[in-house]
C-alpha cells in the first residue's frame, strides 16, 4: 500500500476536528489577556490561592494560566482574573 493511500484511509477514519477553541481571533484575545494577567500576578503580593479565591476560580485554573495552558481557561474566567488583580494593583 502506498503512503498516499494510507494517508487517505487514515483521513477517512479520523476526520479533521473542528473546535471553537481553535478560532484564531479567540486565541489572540485569550493570549493578550493571559499576558496582562501574568504581569499583574508577577507584581501582585497575592499568592495563587488568594487570587483564585478572590476571582472565584479553582487554584488549578491559576496554575494552568501560569503554565500557558490557555485551552483550560475561558475568556470570562480571564476577565474575572484581570478584574480581581486590577483591584489589588497599587
What is the predicted pLDDT for the residue at 78? Answer: 93
Whether the Cβ atoms of residue 30 and residue 75 lie closer than 8 Å to each other? yes
What is the predicted pLDDT for the residue at 79? Answer: 93
What is the predicted pLDDT for the residue at 25? Answer: 86
What is the predicted pLDDT for the residue at 2? Answer: 52
H-state helical runs in the chain = 3-13, 24-43, 48-55, 59-66, 75-88
Residue numbers of the chain with a pLDDT score lower than 70: 1-22, 89-90
Amino acid at each position: 500500500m502506498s503512503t498516499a493511500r494510507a494517508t487517505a484511509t487514515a483521513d477517512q477514519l479520523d476526520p479533521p476536528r473542528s473546535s471553537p477553541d481553535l478560532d484564531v481571533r479567540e486565541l489572540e484575545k485569550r493570549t493578550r489577556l493571559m499576558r496582562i494577567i501574568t504581569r499583574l500576578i508577577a507584581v501582585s503580593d497575592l499568592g495563587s490561592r488568594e487570587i483564585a479565591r478572590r476571582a472565584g476560580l479553582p487554584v488549578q485554573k491559576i496554575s494552568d494560566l501560569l503554565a500557558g495552558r490557555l485551552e483550560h481557561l475561558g475568556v470570562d474566567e480571564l476577565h474575572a482574573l484581570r478584574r480581581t488583580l486590577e483591584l489589588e494593583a497599587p
